[in-house]
Amino acid sequence: MRTYIKAVKIINPASTWHNQTIDMLLDEGQIIDVNPSGKVDADLIIEAKQLYASPSWVDMRVFSGEPGEEYREDFESLAKVLEAGGFGAALLMPNTNPTIQNKADIKTILSHNKSHVCQFLPSAAITINCDGENLNEMLDVFQAGAQAFTDGAQPLWNSDILVKSLQYLQKFDGLLINFPQDHKLALFGQMNEGKTSTGLGLKGIPHLAEEIVIQRDLELLQYAGGKLHFSCISSAKSVQMIKDAKAKGLRVTCDVNIHHLILDDEYLESFDTNYKVLPPLRTQKDIKALIDGVNEGVIDAIVSAHQPYDQDHKKMEFDLAEFGIMGAQIVLPLYHKFLSDQIDLETFLACIESNPRKILKMKQSKIEKGVAPDFTLFSLDEKWVFNAENNLSKSDNSPFLNTDFSAKVLAVFNNRTQYLDSKFTHS
């Protein structure tokens, strides 16, 4: 299919077209022309106000329901969510049933990729069933294609296991991802510990539960060597500690859940379980430090931490409801509505594109004539409402359902195939 994209501004520092507004012609799996002259014949013309393109995005933290809990999210629905969210790749956490931890599991996930725009990158458990105690066969799953090693939603609480994993993974320069939370300090906790939790009578999870693990892990990283990535940091002090560690030359990176850049713990005043998430939503002071962390390059990536749960896991008493917010479909709209005056577009895109690619050792994509198209096309002036009809997830645990947005992903080109917004497929 011959596709003509008109007046699109390229955000891709590695491209010769960076920051320029161009016309692009795609055909037969290639960008065949840039700024073509004369009349252009095309099967599809894509035109939109404030149209941008950047190499396709990468979400570093996504939870699938499949295998085991397909009613929450299966591979098909997850792929649709991610594609509509602009993602050409996503790192899947291993916390499924069964846990993603052997060659067959990895191959099953990878086999899904053949026909899809969004490529699932499997991460494999560090410990068997993410129990935190028994090392998984990491060399074997690496050979099968595991992109990173993590116990996902489970923090690695055992210092000895963390040291050994960091050492073991160095054979192939493997990436270890830890979700930093001290189990005992967070035990029975429901939300951030502070004035709001006190007023609600809910047991709090102190900032300390995260900070103490980051402090410990950085010491262990210095001792063991290797590469460590912290997932979903939420506290101002964590940003500072990681900044200091980077300055010392440690190979440490980190990401933040986009919701933690926008929402604070006061949203829990009404006991709405859609705001119940781990780490818990913190305070305005933390939000400011996290945004500064993104702008200063301390925080490398922004993730959706897409964690889908249906009503049966959320519409209930607060302490019984599951932790998690889904959100991979609305990362750009959230950024545009709530963060675009504090984080510039290029920085935001680096956090969902070039930085994750670097951390996960993926190839860096370029938008150039003659290469296979691998980019996300989005408009920053496209009004829409995220609602039950256009939510592509099987779940609906988002506090942003029925929110109006004015930014939208319009297409993703990758893997010789494409996702197109319904306005192009219906016309």
Partner 1 sequence: MTNLSVKHLLGIKDLTADDIQLIFQTADHFKEVINRPIKKVPSLRDITIANIFFENSTRTKLSFELAEKRLSADVVNFSSSNSSVKKGETLLDTVNNILSMKVDMVVMRHSSAGAAHFLSRHIEANIVNAGDGTHEHPTQALLDTYSIREQIQDLKGKKVAIIGDILHSRVALSNIYALKKLGAEVLVCGPATLLPKYISELGVAVSWDVKEALEWCDVANILRIQLERQQLKYFPSLREYSLYYGVNKKLLDSIGKEIIVMHPGPINRGVEISSDVADSKQSIILNQVENGVAIRMAVLYLLAQKRQN
**What spatial distance separates the first Cα and last Cα of the chain, rounded to whole Å?**
15
By C-beta, is 195 or 383 nearer to partner 1? 195
Q: From the list 133, 296, 319, 404, which residue makes contact with partner 1 (rule: CB under 8 A)?
A: 319
Residue 303 makes contact with partner 1 by CB under 8 A: no
User: Could you tell me the smallest distance in angstroms from the CB atom of residue 9 to partner 1?
Assistant: 44
Residue 197 makes contact with partner 1 by CB under 8 A: yes
Q: From the list 270, 422, 425, 427, which residue makes contact with partner 1 (rule: CB under 8 A)?
A: 270
Residue 284 makes contact with partner 1 by CB under 8 A: no
- Closest Cα partner for 19 from 300, 345, 296, 297? 345
- Closest Cα partner for 252 from 239, 263, 261? 239
Q: Which stretch binds partner 1 (CB under 8 A): 292-300, 312-320, 352-360, 372-380?
A: 312-320
User: Could you tell me the smallest distance in angstroms from the CB atom of residue 290 to partner 1?
Assistant: 21
H or E element that contains 333: helix 331-334
Strands, E, within 323-390: which ranges? 375-379, 384-386
By C-beta, is 275 or 375 nearer to partner 1? 275
User: Could you tell me the smallest distance in angstroms from the CB atom of residue 246 to partner 1?
Assistant: 31
Q: From the list 39, 114, 320, 389, which residue makes contact with partner 1 (rule: CB under 8 A)?
A: 320
Q: Which of residues 390-409 bind partner 1 (CB under 8 A)?
A: none
| Residue-wise burial string across 201-237, b where 16 or more C-beta atoms lie within 10 A, e elsewhere | ebebbbbebbbebbbebbebbeebebbbbbbbbbbbb
Token output for 152: 């996902």
Number of shown-chain residues binding partner 1 (CB under 8 A): 23
Q: Please give the distance of CA 76 from its chain centroid, rounded to a whole number.
A: 18
By C-beta, is 155 or 189 nearer to partner 1? 189
Give the bridge partners for 386, in sequence order: 403
Residue 285 makes contact with partner 1 by CB under 8 A: no
Residue 36 makes contact with partner 1 by CB under 8 A: no
User: Could you tell me the smallest distance in angstroms from the CB atom of residue 202 to partner 1?
Assistant: 5
**Looking at beta carbons, which pairs linking 96-100 to residues 24 or more positions away fall under 8 Å?**
96/64, 96/65, 96/66, 96/67, 96/68, 96/69, 97/67, 97/68, 97/69, 98/67, 98/68, 98/129, 99/125, 99/128, 99/129, 99/130, 100/124, 100/125
Q: From the list 59, 73, 193, 310, which residue makes contact with partner 1 (rule: CB under 8 A)?
A: 193
Q: From the list 49, 107, 171, 315, which residue makes contact with partner 1 (rule: CB under 8 A)?
A: 315
Residue 318 makes contact with partner 1 by CB under 8 A: yes
Residue 85 makes contact with partner 1 by CB under 8 A: no
Q: Which residues, in sequence order, are CB contacts of 137 under 8 Å at separation 6+?
A: 101, 102
Residue 14 makes contact with partner 1 by CB under 8 A: no
Q: Which residues, in sequence order, are CB contacts of 187 under 8 Å at separation 6+?
A: none
By C-beta, is 248 or 315 nearer to partner 1? 315
Residue 202 makes contact with partner 1 by CB under 8 A: yes
Which residues in this chain contact partner 1 in the complex, by CB under 8 A? 187-188, 190, 193-195, 197-204, 206, 270-271, 315-320
